[in-house]
Amino acid sequence: MMTEFKKIANIGGGVIGSSFSLIFARGGLDVVNISRNQDGVKRTQDKINGMLKQLIENKVINEEDKEKILSHISYSTDLEEGLKDIDYAQENWPEIMEKKHEIVELFEKYAPDNAVLASSTSGLLVSDIAKNAKHPERIIGVHPYNPPHIIPLIEIVKGEKTSEDLAEKVKKFFEDLGKIPVILNKEVPGYIANRLQAAVFRETIDLVVNGVASIEDVDKALTFGPGIRWGIMGSGLNFELASDKGLEGMIDVIGKSMLTWLDDMATWTEFPEGTSKLYDGIDEAIKNRPKEIGNDRESLNEYRTKMLIDILKLHKLI
């Protein structure tokens, strides 16, 4: 693999941090995973081993691959030592601005002057994260989609002062790692995928709260309707196929009708009373599922992982 970034530091464990270490190591890069303490190291090791176990069970890798991947991952609780001589640091600290500012300060204190700091923030503005930095031009947002070691999407977000060519370098870096990066041309809270997800979830809540359907049936409608198509291509391309005249023809035919739907849809920006209806509803929906497709959180997670891998095999991405 050809990349400008050879020596990687991954700051923080958890699901996202552990996944990033796995992504880098699968790409043949040496990565040091830095945790706050030995308990954090142990949790990260356990998560990585669990992820590798899932990949083996789903025939993505074998035992030999696992050992090779693990040979590229080291662990540390020493941030100063871990950041020494690196090219690229992936930061996975909590989604709290004060924590992000703290890691920026420590990064600039310990990392080489030419190193890059990428934040895994899921929606904070990179400009705000980098506002106290001495070198904001080398700070960028790199947001994965959970679980990152399986889902290919990487959202690359520039701050106001991020170097113009850094986004392209980071994009190439993740393409070399087998991911599918997208670059935001403008900073917005939540970026692309989470904004789309939030819009659909708001309508999900609204349909349930207003008694239109149960959360179970709304989820079924999404999964076996648009969700199946979205797993193949996005809204733009799907609507291009909705008419003999493409996207323009689709809007000409049903655009006026669609406006009546939009006029009736949720626009609230505070969770409405009755949102708690979803909690009991989702518990009931899980109980109603056959065991083989997940009827508790653990088996749901296993089933989702298997199905994600199967879909990505169809896309020839795993």
Average pLDDT score, the chain: 95
Exposure string of 42-56, with b = 16+ CB inside 10 Å and e = fewer, is ebbbebbeebbebbe
| pLDDT greater than 80 at residue 1 | no
Residue 10 banded pLDDT, cuts 50, 70, 90:
very high
Exposure string of 137-160, with b = 16+ CB inside 10 Å and e = fewer, is ebbbbbbbbebbbbbbbbbbbbbe
Q: Are 183 and 194 in contact (CB under 8 A)?
A: no
CA distance 31 to 149: 15
Can you give the pTM of this predicted structure? 0.93
| pLDDT greater than 80 at residue 17 | yes
| pLDDT greater than 60 at residue 310 | yes
Q: What Rg value do the Cα atoms of the chain yield, rounded? A: 21
| pLDDT greater than 90 at residue 14 | no
Residue 56 banded pLDDT, cuts 50, 70, 90:
very high
Q: Domains in the chain, ordered, with CATH? A: 7-184 (3.40.50.720), 193-287 (1.10.1040.10)
CA distance 115 to 88: 5
Beta-sheet strand order (sheet of 73-76): 73-76, 30-34, 7-11, 88-91, 116-119, 139-144, 153-158, 180-184
The mean pLDDT value for 193-216 works out to: 97
CA distance 266 to 269: 9
Q: Are 140 and 162 in contact (CB under 8 A)?
A: yes
CA distance 304 to 300: 6
State pLDDT tens for residues 242-275.
Answer: 999 999 999 999 999 999 999 999 999 999 999 9
| pLDDT greater than 70 at residue 2 | no
Q: Are 106 and 78 in contact (CB under 8 A)?
A: no
The mean pLDDT value for 293-317 works out to: 95
The mean pLDDT value for 204-230 works out to: 97
Give me the pLDDT at residue 96, please.
94
Residue with tokens 């309707």: 225
Residue with tokens 């979803």: 278
Q: What is the DSSP letter of 183?
A: E
Paired strand residues for 9: 32, 89
Give me the pLDDT at residue 123, please.
87
Give me the pLDDT at residue 13, please.
85
CA distance 144 to 132: 24
